[in-house]
Amino acid sequence: MAPRLFYFVRHGETDWNAERRLQGQLDIPLNARGRQQSAQCGAILQDLLAKGGRAAGDFTYIASPLVRARETIEIMRTGLGLPGEGYATDARLAELSFGRWEGLTYKEVRALDRSVLAVRERDKWNFAPPDGESYAQLLVRVREWHAGVAATHNVIVAAHGGVARVLMVLFGVRAPQDATQGDVAQGVVYGFGQGMMERYG
């Protein structure tokens, strides 16, 4: 059996992204740039599917239940010629919870919790913010989700930067501590396979 196709899109920009605020599981909508990025991802996917001889209807579409991810997938689906609402959501794809830090910038966190933030810098993978969760905990729920529908269908997913980081570990692309480094871009499409991750756009 051929490997399943797995395309991942981080949601488009929100005003809080632009302000570098920790959104976590707070429900922040896309801004105008984020809607443009989502349309761009739809165009990238359209090109990828055409080159691969695939139809948009050959995929299962799944999003985080947070509004920024749902807006993203609806815009992408419209660009692919599909009804915007024809997708599933799964709570296991929600962003990492930043607990009491949600809504704050890291500058504000540093002013409030400098000693706690120093602990995070030593081990970002296993660190959980106050009342929040760690990447290690996020991996548990994303792995459980992946073992279901994603293991048996070709999927296009719209979710979050934290989810992308644990997918890198789940697919064997990066070690846990390496996965916490660097940016997860908006307005691009990531293709995942065992031991590989491609960026398009």
For the cut 70, the answer to whether the pLDDT of residue 188 exceeds it is yes
- Please report whether residue 88 resides in a domain: yes
- Please report whether residue 1 resides in a domain: no
Which positions are catalytic? 11, 95
The three-state secondary structure class of 127 is coil
Q: What is the model's pLDDT at position 143?
A: 96
Taking the C-alpha atoms of residue 96 and residue 164, their distance in angstroms, rounded to an integer, is: 11
Query: Count of domains in the chain?
Result: 1
Contact 152, 4 (CB under 8 A): yes
Q: Determine the structural domain holding residue 115 and report its residue range.
A: 6-200
If pLDDT is split at 50, 70 and 90, which confidence band does 150 have?
Answer: low
Strand (E) positions, 25-81?
Answer: 60-63
Query: Over pLDDT 90: what percentage of the chain?
Result: 89
Nearest 10 degrees: Cα torsion 99, 184, 18, 76:
-100
Distances (CA, A) of 169 to 79, 88, 139, 143, 192: 30, 24, 8, 10, 11
Q: What is the model's pLDDT at position 112?
A: 87
Taking the C-alpha atoms of residue 17 and residue 7, their distance in angstroms, rounded to an integer, is: 22
- Please report whether residue 33 resides in a domain: yes
For the cut 90, the answer to whether the pLDDT of residue 4 exceeds it is no
**40-44, 50-54, 70-74, 114-118, range with the lowest pLDDT:** 114-118
Strand (E) positions, the chain?
Answer: 6-10, 60-63, 88-89, 155-159, 189-193, 196-200
Nearest 10 degrees: Cα torsion 80, 186, 69, 108:
-170
Q: What is the model's pLDDT at position 185?
A: 98
Q: What is the model's pLDDT at position 108?
A: 94
Mean pLDDT value across residues 109-128: 90
For the cut 80, the answer to whether the pLDDT of residue 1 exceeds it is no
pTM: 0.95
Q: What is the model's pLDDT at position 2?
A: 60
- Read off the pLDDT of residues 42-61 as tens digits, 9 standing for 90 and up: 999 999 999 999 999 999 99
Taking the C-alpha atoms of residue 192 and residue 189, their distance in angstroms, rounded to an integer, is: 10
- Output 165 or 151, whichever has higher pLDDT: 165
Mean pLDDT of the chain: 95
- Please name which of 57, 49, 64, 87 lies closest in space to residue 9, comparing C-alpha atoms: 64
90: CATH: 3.40.50.1240
